[in-house]
Amino acid sequence: MYICLCQPVTDGQIREAVCSGVACNVRQLQNHLGIAKQCKRCARAAKEVVNETLLSLERNHPPTHSIHAVAMQAHLEKIPTTQSAAGFSL
Ligand code: FES
């Protein structure tokens, strides 16, 4: 599914960028994939995909001391404790 229409980018491309460690937030996706640079309507949806992917990584690969794990932990701390951006309780 396309997340950004101004710079055609799919949710799969965003997941791949997050899983490969290239990006773990929308600002890094802006630099890597060029999303959310024009109308910015995709920023919220992109953030949700990032959050979902980070949560999935967290569940499948518990944090270690890697740089990515530290970035993931910092990112997760910004998500409200009662409900994630994906819409389910943590
Ligand atoms: S939809 Fe992504 S910048 Fe416009």
For 16-59, what is each residue's pLDDT tens digit? 999 999 999 999 999 999 999 999 999 999 999 999 999 999 88
The pLDDT score that the predictor gives to residue 60 is: 86
Give yes or no for residue 2 CB within 6 A of ligand 1. no
Structural Rg of the chain based on CA atoms: 13
Between CA 19 and CA 53 the distance in angstroms is 7
Phi, psi of 17 (to 5 degrees): -65, -40
Residues paired with 10 in a beta bridge:
2
What pairs with residue 9 in β-bridges?
Answer: 4
64-72: average pLDDT: 63
Task: Please tell me the distance between residue 17's alpha carbon and the centre of ligand 1 in angstroms.
Answer: 17
Tokens of 30: 């802006």
Ligand 1 probe mutation, 2, 6, 44, most atoms within 8 A of CB: 6
At 61 the pLDDT is 75
CATH 1.10.760.10 fits 2-76, yes or no: no
- The one-letter amino acid code at 40 reads K
* Res 67: pLDDT: 59
